[in-house]
Structure 1
Amino acid sequence: MPKQIIIPPGSPPPLAPYSPGTRAGNVVYVSGVLAMASDGTTVGVGDVETQTRHVLFTIKSVVETAGGTMDDIAFNSIFLKSLDDYTAMNRVYAEFFPSSPPARYCIRADLVRPEFLVEIASIAHLS
């Protein structure tokens, strides 16, 4: 099955050799998304809610560019710089997944730049 690279308009430049998303059949894999503007600058420095919102809007744009919706997301991997931000991240996360949220895990991890507070990667199964 051939894969299709998904790059939504306005995507920030990648920090490494990867694509924002890849579609294989009806499955969309969204790379780990960080709070980066299209010019590569960090969005919401010091504010995990702003960063989480930006990350989830970016994930939404990848999934929609591939032909899906946020309801098609089946699994999220969440990485937080500090577990002290867990509650604040969840407040924003619940706005994007108000009912029937996808399966997920959340761990504390060092992220690629010190100003990044949250990173989320997603898997969507398009209907």
Structure 2
Amino acid sequence: MPKTAIIPPGTGVPIAPFVPGTLADGVLYVSGTLPFDKDNNVVHVGDATAQTRHVLTIIKGVVEAAGGTMDDVTFNMIMLKDWADYGKINAVYAEFFPGVKPARYCIQCGLVKPDALVEIASIAHVGKKA
């Protein structure tokens, strides 16, 4: 099956061998997205609200670069460093998904950089583009 790498303008070089998104047969798979700037530095250290907003804004950019909208997101995988931030993450999440919510799971785990408080990966159905 053909697949297309989705790399929005201004995307930095990833810290591992992956692309921000892969589109195959109308399904977009968005890589785990951390609160990084284009140089892979953690932004908004200590602020789960701002980090979540940053992550979801990046995801939105990947979805839009693939020709979709956040309404096309059907599944999210959320990883958080501390359950104490769960409410803050959910408040921002609700802003990005105001209507019918995507399916999701949420786990607590260690993230690739200690100052990162949240990571989100997504799946969206954006139509057959590849």
1:31-70 residue pairs with structure 2 within 5 A? 31-70=31-70
Report the Cα offset of residue 12 of structure 1: 2.6
Identity score, percent: 61
1:29·1:122 contact (CA, 8 Å) conserved in 2? yes
1:73·1:102 contact (CA, 8 Å) conserved in 2? yes
Q: For residues 48-74 of structure 1, what are the alpha-carbon distances to aligned partners after superposition, in whole Å with 9 as ceiling and x for unaligned?
A: 000000000000000100110000000
User: What is the rounded CA distance, in whole Å, between the counterparts of 1:48 and 1:11 in structure 2?
Assistant: 22
Query: 2:117 — aligned with what?
Result: 117
| Aligned CA-pair RMSD | 0.8
In the comparison of the two structures, how many residue pairs are matched?
127
Report the Cα offset of residue 40 of structure 1: 2.1
Name segments (4+ residues, structure 1) moved above 2 Å. Answer: none
Q: Structure 1 unaligned segments of length 5 or more: list them.
A: none
SS of the residue corresponding to residue 94 of structure 1 reads helix
Structure 1 residues 37-46 or 116-125, which shifts more?
Answer: 37-46
Query: 2:23 — aligned with what?
Result: 23
1:34·1:118 contact (CA, 8 Å) conserved in 2? yes
SS of the residue corresponding to residue 123 of structure 2 reads strand
Residue type of the alignment partner of 1:92: V
Q: Structure 2 unaligned segments of length 5 or more: list them.
A: none
Query: 1:93 — aligned with what?
Result: 93
User: What is the rounded CA distance, in whole Å, between the counterparts of 2:108 and 2:3 in structure 1?
Assistant: 31
Normalising by structure 1, we get a TM-score of: 0.97
